[in-house]
Amino acid sequence: MFNEEVLDRLENDLKNATPINESLPNGGVLHFDKIVPYICIYRYTEYDHYFSGLLKTQAAYLIVHSTIDIYPLVERLADTISTKLNAFLIIEMWPLSLNNTSIFSLKCPDKTSPTTIGAFEDGIQEMKSLYPEVSLNISRTNKRHPTHLKALLDIKKSKNNSTLILGLGVPTIYHRPEENQIFSLFYRKFTTKLSEILKRVAFEFIRVQTSNPYNHYLMLGKTNIDKLTLDADKMLANISEGLSFLLRTTPVNSFKEWEQFKKNKFLKAPSFAYRLISIDPEREKRALYDIPLEDVDDPTIAYILRDKRLEIEKQLTMLEERGTDNFRYTSESLYGTIDPKVIDGAIEILNAYPHPEVPTDIDTLDCKTFASKAQEEIDYLKQLFPELDVKFEIRDDVAGIMVSETTLLISDTLSVDIERCDALIQHEVATHILTYCNGKKQPFKQMYAGFAGYDQLQEGLAVLAEVLVGGLKINRLRLLAGRVMAANSLVSGASFIETFNLLHKKYNFIDKTAYYISMRVYRGGGLTKDAVYLAGLMEVLEYIKEGGELGILYAGKFSMNHIELIDELMRRQVLKEPKLPRFLNRPDVQKNLEILRKGIPLNKLIKLQL
């Protein structure tokens, strides 16, 4: 099986940092995502898909039938890798299912590095949060393999080439064979945690024993994304992009109904009409769950894709329920409940600024002048991303300013306050378009199509840009607060008229603004999404205050809940470092950032200055 020709080829691949994915008989596989100083090995008599999945989370693994002689292979791997990296760790794993045990069995030599064993002990202790009965039994022995198999390597030989062999019996607590049950949800969590433990153990070993090119255990994770994962990502993105969710839940007669609402003296609720839905939600859901996410080996990416699939499913359900009360209930499930802190923040703003600002002399820019100002930022992005078509369009079918992928859409009737010009450009171009471009440079589509719940961080980051360049105005901040109060009014059971009156009479929004805020919240049957704008800003401000790295937020379109996952994928070199907006280099922006790092009340964000 592993003759000299095969071994020489594999050795050459390792030395040249060429990924290895060698199919073996009876479903076995040898995999090296990259050269790493450890490998997990599972020798089976009967192939176990679920147990094999535990190893496939690692950057290097060997899954092989027990009848195949792998001694020459393991010896060559140990020689090659220990020569290059000074040491090599082998973790042989096997399933323990007898009497439904929940005890991990670790077999190691007497003088194993205490930090390596400590990483196992700490990891199993943390796993108690998933399964309280789990524990670890440590045996100091030279027999570190299943009792029915021979040793992988001669112990003396392994010492000579600086190779450490550990044996790990893993309790299959995710499986009840007598009932033929797999606890799939638990299995995913178990797999994720065990994957982390194995990488931490390997990291502690190489930190002490090898010429270590890694400064974090996450760097030991997979770097290359396989075709199955890329295909799943593409299928999800295609379904998501075909939804046009916001377009199909936004009224087509909002202006007409405003005229009627005003004519009725604000006493009769508007009747909104919507575009016909040209997709079949049931068929789309079927296609959604035909995507084989259960076969995605990487637990981090699998989590991201499952999270997105659940979001799309809820959006499809909402399209089915459009115009009913159920639409609102699913909306609350999708966008979450409104955090009381966000409501308090909105009230703080509206109390600080109880009336809209009514400027006297305003210098305004028309659409062409604004476009010429925006072109400077667009040109900068074109330099950073020459392969992308970053541009602006002046159109008669948009209201105000908005972004579609790499295009800034500008209304031909636009008239914008010159003092807001820079803030709007940094909001739309230097945030929304930039994060899309950064996402486009990444290997999978969700980075630009958007992770589940990405809107909140995106809008928070965009409003932060307005704050940092000193372009946030009172009316803009009041608008964000008003949206929160309207969404809260909706979920409290208030009618459209009651919410309109709350905004118009209590919080002094002009009638047209109060109408459009209410329209956005009550569209479709009740959409709580608009609360995310202020929530996102508050979230980003808290992140900055706690010392969070601002740069990572520009890597694509994701939520604050995904920051640790994005950081992991960057450390694993799955994702590329993002390009940053150039406004961050301005001295006044740097000063404003320092103020935000110390913490500042929401009502002090207007025209932020030292």
Convert the pLDDT of each residue in 434-449 to its tens digit.
999 999 999 999 999 9
For residue 330, the SS3 value is helix
The pLDDT, as a whole number, for residue 214 is 72
The pLDDT, as a whole number, for residue 132 is 94
Close Cβ partners of 65 (under 8 Å, ≥ 6 residues apart): 24, 25, 26, 27, 28, 43, 44, 45, 47
Q: Identify which of 280, 288, 261, 283 has the alpha carbon closest to the alpha carbon of residue 272.
A: 261
Task: Find the largest Cα–Cα distance for the chain.
Answer: 93
Query: How far apart are the C-alpha atoms of 60 and 39, rounded to whole Å?
Result: 5
Q: What is the mean pLDDT of the chain?
A: 91
DSSP per position, 144-170: -S-TTS--SS-HHHHHHTTEEEEEEEE
Convert the pLDDT of each residue in 453-503 to its tens digit.
999 999 999 999 999 999 898 999 999 999 999 999 999 999 999 999 999
The pLDDT, as a whole number, for residue 359 is 76
pLDDT band at 610 (very low <50, low <70, confident <90, very high): very low
Q: At what angle do helices 587-598 and 532-545 cross, to 10 degrees?
A: 90
pLDDT band at 212 (very low <50, low <70, confident <90, very high): low
Convert the pLDDT of each residue in 50-87 to its tens digit.
999 999 999 999 999 999 999 999 999 999 998 888 88
CATH assignment, 4-220:
3.40.630
What mean pLDDT comes out for the span 509-517?
95
Convert the pLDDT of each residue in 99-147 to its tens digit.
778 999 999 988 777 888 999 999 999 999 999 999 999 999 989 999 8
Least trusted range by pLDDT, from 263-267, 296-300, 527-531, 604-608:
604-608
Close Cβ partners of 590 (under 8 Å, ≥ 6 residues apart): 584
pTM of the model: 0.85
Domain boundary assignment for the chain: 4-220, 225-320
